[in-house]
Structure 1
Amino acid sequence: MTAERWTPHATVATIVTRGDDFLMVEEMSNGARVINQPAGHIEKDEAVIDAAVRETLEETGWEVKPTALLGFYTYTAPANGVTYHRYCLIAEAIREVPDAELDEGIIGPSWMSIEELRGATNLRSPMVLTCAEDYLSRKHYPLDLIIEHP
């Protein structure tokens, strides 16, 4: 008898700021409207940094340039029991793409202050506020900490 292998989901998220506001995504998840950083799964054969750029564009319509690594986060969602391993990157907003087609389930981007995030009752997971707070505490690391072999 072979035991089922535990397989976490590899994801990325991006912290993008404008002034004191964070670029966030309003989306539908399990029938509820939630707030998240631009985030999503890393695709097969995709580099972490490329995934962060792609997911940010697909979810917000913003082109970004990653500048630093914020950290690596794990979370097991009680709704489905899936463990998510999140690479959270910091990125600079380059430009908003007019008429960008956003992923299915995305309501749209919004800019939110840390006070709004702290008061929100519909964050997609605890990682959302943790990443924002870590960003404000200046936990920034060089991107070259991410080493990927082709």
Structure 2
Amino acid sequence: MRPTTEAAPRPLTSGDFSLVFPPDPGWVRTARDAVGTAVRSAGRGGLADTALLLTSEVVTNAVNACRSSGCSEPVTLYGEWPGPGTLRVLVHDGAPGLPVRRWCEDDATGGRGLYLVGVCADEWGVCRHGPGDGKSVWFELGE
């Protein structure tokens, strides 16, 4: 699936959720747990495995981008249900630059995050909103 470059988060409504945390790798599990809880609470268990995998990849990318650029702004995860059976997860970080989907050798230990997002998500993209160098990476999954 090709990424799109425009998508804005909507205001939080019933069933939507958010989590704000420092750009520290220890928070990846907490972000996964938040998405897992939301998916199970919404009765959408069929989305759980893919949602957890993609959340891990996107949050890890955001944390790594912040740490490598020296950005200390928090990372924000938003989750919403924009339609019946559809989950959208958006992760915002304040680091400069845009993420790059790249090809990795079979024995590489990293670098497959956006490739997995592109293969597994129904839709995904990158957007910039507001002041500063930050960006948001989002994905959608449907049953």
Q: TM-score, normalised by structure 1?
A: 0.27
Instruction: With the length of structure 2 as denominator, give the TM-score of the two structures.
Output: 0.28
Structure having the higher strand fraction is: 1
Is the helix fraction higher in 1 or 2? 2
